[in-house]
Amino acid sequence: MNANRPPGERAVLAAVPKQLLIGGEWRDGAGGETLCVEDPASGEEIARVADAAPQDALDALGAAHAAWRGDWRVSAPRERSDILRRAYEAVVDRTDELALLMTLEMGKPLAESAAEVAYAASFLRWYAEEAVRTDGRVATHESGAGRVLTLKQPVGPCVLITPWNFPLAMGARKIGPAVAAGCTMLVKPARLTPLSMLMLARILEEAGLPGGVLNVVTASSSGSVMEPVIRDPRTRKLSFTGSTEVGRRLIEQSAEQVLRVSMELGGNAPFVVFDDADVDDAVEGAVLAKMRNIGEACTAANRFHVARPIAREFADKLAARMSAMKLGPGTEDGVEVGPLIDAEQLDKVSELVDDAVAKGARVLCGGERVDGPGHFYVPTVLVGVPPAARLLREEIFGPVAPIMAFGSEDEAIAAANDTQFGLVAYLYTADLKRALRVSERLETGMVGVNQGIVSNAGAPFGGVKQSGIGREGGPEGIEEYLETKYVALALD
């Protein structure tokens, strides 16, 4: 199936494990079935990996539970730190290989894939450092008669479900703190992009992670395979990155065992530009916030609210910038915009744009799909977008920038907050007081001020409202994998 691909691509694909990782062993699924992984730039099959049955997932949970009951939960923090540090170094050393693999299965340009590899590695490094710093505290009881001790202990076996859009970084962002805390894991990567996670598992294995601590199950039917393990009493935590619709169902399932949950769900990020902003800087920030990952990111700017006096200038410059971006397969030199992940996502983006245009929006650039193989949509800027347009309410997940003008600061904030989501917002202004004032009033978990990217391994990533529960990254991220135990110590 890969005979016509360049030798470098064939070698990278051949190096990836294609089986399930359960209890330290790579094995086929119980039913012997496989699932197809396609290149979204061509629609061609590039690999087949094991397609797990529900029993495989239960076996993986059993392996995680056994490792948890064994030595791992009481392993030395420095041991866990050293494993993560070795994995970090290996990921950095293999950047080119991992970036090519990611581009082949997900579609983003190679430069962006390399940036994601660095981002993924940064979580391994950060939590290598955090592993030895999970401190409790000691205090004197208020009566003076005893001591109050608090201990930090690992939550237990975790079920981690990762998305297709950042297949390496989202895995590292969950695995890093789980390993640092002393938890064991069952990881279920997205059906569309399992290869990056399988390769990360191999790297962690080579870095010395004991068998059973990390188990990886690939499956075409996530719901039927994962529901039994979510409802199993051996599971103690669930972490999911994906859509709000799926997240709600998983929260319902997790209630049966009262699991600790972390949910990083959908977004509808506003990008607000005030009239005192540097328009050229705002346009560059808009390109980063909109076009990172081909727009297929929960942090992608979904709605552009621009002060009326500069709205036309901003729109024209953004359209010029986006229309000049080179579209094509992510493996080609100079490509800035790759394909969308699959035909379903391409259809959705096309429908959202058509709906907006039918309701009165005007196309400044783009507005069409590309004929031929692959799932390509031309970078698009829309102006005069009416409030009834679906793309103002729904997550676009594609290279489309709808622009609306506003009058007052209050009007801008009201428009930005007019959504059920609250993951991230972006704002551009030269006024520091306004930046702080607006940041505090925006109903989001994160705010980017005069910058189009907020992702940072040392900072807490997460949202409010229907964008999720909990935080990933930073010192806060490891707390999601730790329980606090209070010990009352009498001294009399």
Annotated catalytic residues are 264, 298
Q: Is 428 exposed, middle or buried (0-12, 13-18, 19+ CB in 10 A)?
A: buried
Q: Could you count the other beta carbons within 10 Å of the beta carbon of residue 488? A: 9
Q: Is the dihedral of CA 277, 280, 283, 289 positive or negative?
A: negative
Q: Could you count the other beta carbons within 10 Å of the beta carbon of residue 255? A: 12
Nearest Cα neighbor of 28 from 36, 17, 38 is 17
Q: Between β-strands 146-154 and 214-216, what pairing exists: parallel, antiparallel or unpaired?
A: unpaired
**CA-based R_g, the chain, Å:** 23
| Helix or strand holding residue 79 (H, E) | helix 77-93
DSSP 209: P
Instruction: Report how far residue 341's alpha carbon sits from residue 345's, in angstroms, rounded to the nearest whole number.
Output: 7
From its phi and psi, is residue 159 left (phi > 0), alpha (psi between -120 and 50) or beta?
Answer: beta
Cα 269 from chain centroid (whole Å):
15
Q: Are 216 and 20 in contact (CB under 8 A)?
A: yes
* Residue 50, token pair as written in the block: 């094991």
Q: Is 71 exposed, middle or buried (0-12, 13-18, 19+ CB in 10 A)?
A: exposed
